[in-house]
Amino acid sequence: MRKAFDFSNWTRVPTIDDIATLRALDYTTAIIGASFDVALAREQITVLVEAGFRIEVYSWLRHPWRSGLLDNAINACAGFPVERLWLDVEDAADATGKTPEQLAFDVRTALDYIHARTSIPTGIYTGSWFWDSYMGTTDTFGEVLWLANYVTIPNVTFIYSHLPGGWTPDTLFIWQWNNHLAGTAFNADDNLILKETDMPDTYTRAEVDAKIGAVFGLGLRNQDSIFALAKALADHVQNHGQTAIGASVADLTALKDKLEAEQAELDARIRKAAEILGTPIT
């Protein structure tokens, strides 16, 4: 099993501290809602891909179904190594007053729409409370399941015996077992991935190192360059004669302090990136 977290389209972009904490807590996969703000979703995905997380995406299904939300999610996935695109089937407000046949039509049509536009594998996200109450059918549309069922402590034996109608243990891929993450302020749901996929690692460690550096703007200040600059300024002071030495030394001292502060900030960022990569600097 692997640990995953999911969050809605309206959650902020994860910060470097969020990512460091999530990695320290052994989360490997992020599932991002992408039905509404494509630009924000792509920014969220970019940061998480660069930090080495595996990525899945979900799209909300409205009733009657509409293509716009699905298009947004598909467009958010473009160019990224998205492992699965989930259809979120749980809109009780829209489902009220509609027959199971009407709801099943929406699910089938939405899935067909996605399949016609992307080769990303699909699945259905739902809860037993919705599926059993509204769908009224054992048709699982040939999909795999991401199930929401909240408990205090996750127990796989429990969830396999509490599946919605029509679903079997072999179809249950992800269990969303809590609606918050312990140990972090990042607003997301807690999940267990119960079935492994054949998706290879997206990047080698060397590539992740480079991408972490790029996404957080990390860089090393070459000490030799700083010393060379200081020497050049010191020579400048000497060439200006005795009367200018006092002011020039003050300028040089201020510049030196500024460079030291910038170096300290960069060093802190580099240490944080090393923590994210699981190779802390001692």
166-190 tens-digit pLDDT? 999 999 999 999 999 999 999 999 9
230-245 tens-digit pLDDT? 566 666 555 655 545 5
Please enumerate in sequence order all residues whose Cβ is within 8 A of that of 32, keeping only pairs 6 or more positions apart, or say none.
6, 7, 9, 41, 44, 45, 48, 55, 56, 57, 58, 76
Give percent of the chain above pLDDT 90.
65
Are 252 and 237 in contact, with CB atoms under 8 Å apart? yes
Q: Which pLDDT belongs to residue 204? A: 44
Identify the three-state secondary structure at position 6: strand
Q: Which amino acid is at 213?
A: G
pTM over 0.75: no
Dihedral of CA 239/243/246/251: which sign? negative
Partners of 176 in beta bridges: 148, 191
Q: Is the peptide bond before 164 cis (omega within 30 degrees of 0)?
A: no
Comparing CA positions, the residue from 146, 70, 81 lying closest to residue 112 is 70
Are 174 and 194 in contact, with CB atoms under 8 Å apart? yes
